[in-house]
Amino acid sequence: MSRLGTLFITLLALMGSAALMAGCSPYPHAQEGTHPLISQPETQRPKRSITLAAYNAAEALVINLGDRLPKRHKILPTSFVNSDKLSETSPLGRHLASLIGSRLSQYGYSLLEIKLRKNVFVKEGEGEFILSRDQTKINTTYKVRAIMVGSYTVSRTRVDVSVKLVRAKDQVVMTAYDFSLPKDGDIQALLGESNS
């Protein structure tokens, strides 16, 4: 085979490889035409942060959920509660719910903004809680299919977090994810603790 023929075959092989690689995405769950999945350029993303942990949790929920909840169905997020005092939350609980909800929205899920609803108990300075007697009304009025609930447990060195998507009509857990955050100065501040 001539040198020109070898060069031509090599060029075709390279072009074919490039075409195959162009279809690969660093975000395997992203689909063409959906919202971007990152809020910051990769170079600005913190190495370990509350945001990154929350985004990872949301991504795990999406993967585990599969097709059991179509994206057109609404999700109602609620503030994460302290597992020792289920009627209390903190800035950390509200922040985690907001971050995970934001990431679910970036994946194309419809989230109901609960601060605008009268059927959700909003305790000033505490957060949003669902009153069990209002849950049926919320389901029928706003056609919510799932409720995002979460809790956190504080220990001396870390905060363990559990988040669940619960089917609204029968309270069955559709998917869940647990993660841990190091109890650093930022976490202590969001818990309302001093770091002394």
Average pLDDT over residues 2-11: 63
If you compute the radius of gyration of the chain from its CA atoms, what whole number of angstroms results? Answer: 22
Strands 173-182 and 158-167 turn out to be: antiparallel
Strands 81-82 and 144-154 turn out to be: parallel
The model's pTM is 0.69
For the four alpha carbons of 110, 116, 117 and 123, in that order, the dihedral sign comes to positive
3-state secondary structure at position 162: strand
Q: Is a pLDDT exceeding 80 seen at residue 140? A: no
Closest CA to 62 of 172, 162, 165: 165
Domains of the chain are: 47-191 (3.40.50.10610)
CA 128, CA 39: separation in Å to the nearest integer?
25
CA 157, CA 179: separation in Å to the nearest integer?
14
- pLDDT tens profile 18-57: 444 445 444 444 443 344 455 555 555 444 689 999 999 9
